[in-house]
A = this chain, B = another copy of it.
Amino acid sequence: MRVLITGTEGFAGSHLAEHCLAMGDEVWGTIHPGNRCSNLVGILDHLVLRAGDVASPGFLRSVLREARFDVVFHLAAITFVPEAEREPARTYEVNLMGGLNILEGVRTESPGTRVLLASSAEVYGNARPEAMPLREDAPINPSNIAAAAKAALEVVARPFVESYGLSVVIARPFNHTGPRQRPDFVCSSFGEQIARIERGAEPVIRVGDLRPKRDFCDVRDIVRGYRMLALKGRSGEAYNLASGRSVCIRDILDTLVAMSRVQARIEVDKARVRAIEVPDIYGSTEKIEKDIGWKPEMPLEKTLRDLLNWHRDRLSCGRPA
């Protein structure tokens, strides 16, 4: 089938492009003109790329007019919380209006195209311990701008299904990591610091709060789930993509340290501690298993090893993250 991926140069976007190519799809992608495309190096020749800003309705309309897509995967978003907090207006413009532009573009140009919206498990926000594992019908209570923009997009999408008959599936991935993740995110930050120390940097790993427990999947499992949801998910429904259990951030650090060849001191960096932290989150996988038969397959050990090796490779050839 022919698919369009927005934010294809991003972390999940590049893995999704790779996965769709492997499944035999014709893959088109949008990239933001201001972003580097280093994530796409291995597959650039196999993609049809269009550069533009998803926050501009005209850009998406023009791409949707160029070809008839079976599926649009909408991944373009500002996902790093501190960046979103600094620029709330821009975050809403990209995360919310970008999604609206997709929906409105599909409605007017190509109403038969399936839309997968990549939302986030962060829409559940500060859920109470007794609410775990979080089911899709848990209250929506986002506690940061990036998550609020995703939650608002889920609301915005509803009448496009109910009033205009579009086919829209919403994915709520829990934390995911793996090769190519920006070192702004916790696992990748640990991986990068360890890889640097292996190359002679000061043996100190700077960390934030190590106590929170999160539900981690491999990004490659997540994007496989996106494609399955696009094919088989029920329109108008939201689906968790989760492992169903949580792991302490400290255990992730310990696992990565154990994989490395170095000794390092752990130092808490207050700038890395977020203001509002939810102590423990994990998601229910019941709905997605039942409806489409997806569950994660990659062990966390392998994910972390691949992530660390990616940083090692990257540093050894002097490439930026």
Q: Interface extent on A, as a size class?
A: 20 to 34
Q: Which of A141-149, A196-204, A255-263, A308-316 contacts B (4 or more CB under 8 A)?
A: A141-149
A159 on the B face (CB < 8 A):
yes
A162 on the B face (CB < 8 A):
yes
Known: A143-B159, A147-B159. 16 other contacts (CB 8 A): A57-B89, A88-B107, A88-B160, A89-B104, A92-B97, A92-B100, A96-B156, A142-B155, A142-B158, A144-B159, A148-B155, A148-B156, A148-B158, A149-B156, A152-B153, A163-B276
Which residues A148-177 have CB closer than 8 A to chain B?
A: 148-149, 151-153, 155-156, 158-160, 162-164
List of B residues within 8 angstroms of A155 by Cβ: 140, 142, 148, 151-152, 155
A254 on the B face (CB < 8 A):
no
A275 on the B face (CB < 8 A):
yes
Q: Which B residue sits closest to A146, measured CB to CB? A: B159
Establish whether residues A148 and B142, one from each chain, have CB atoms under 8 Å apart when the complex forms: no
A25 on the B face (CB < 8 A):
no
- 17 of the cross-chain contacts (CB-CB < 8 Å) are A57-B89, A88-B104, A88-B159, A88-B160, A96-B96, A97-B97, A140-B140, A141-B158, A143-B158, A144-B159, A144-B163, A145-B163, A148-B155, A149-B156, A151-B155, A152-B153, A163-B275
Q: How far is the CA of A151 from the CA of B275 in the complex (A)?
A: 26
Q: Which B residue sits closest to A137, measured CB to CB? A: B139
List of B residues within 8 angstroms of A164 by Cβ: 88
Q: How far is the CA of A152 from the CA of B143 in the complex (A)?
A: 14
CB-CB contacts of A25-57 with B at 8 A, as 1s and 0s?
A: 000000000000000000000000000000001
Q: Measured between C-beta atoms, what is the minimum distance from A139 to chain B in Å?
A: 8
Establish whether residues B104 and A100, one from each chain, have CB atoms under 8 Å apart when the complex forms: no
A85 on the B face (CB < 8 A):
yes
Contact partner, A152, options B96, B147, B275, Cβ 8 Å: B96
Q: Which B residue sits closest to A126, measured CB to CB? A: B162
List of B residues within 8 angstroms of A96 by Cβ: 96, 152, 156
Q: How far is the CA of A158 from the CA of B122 in the complex (A)?
A: 14
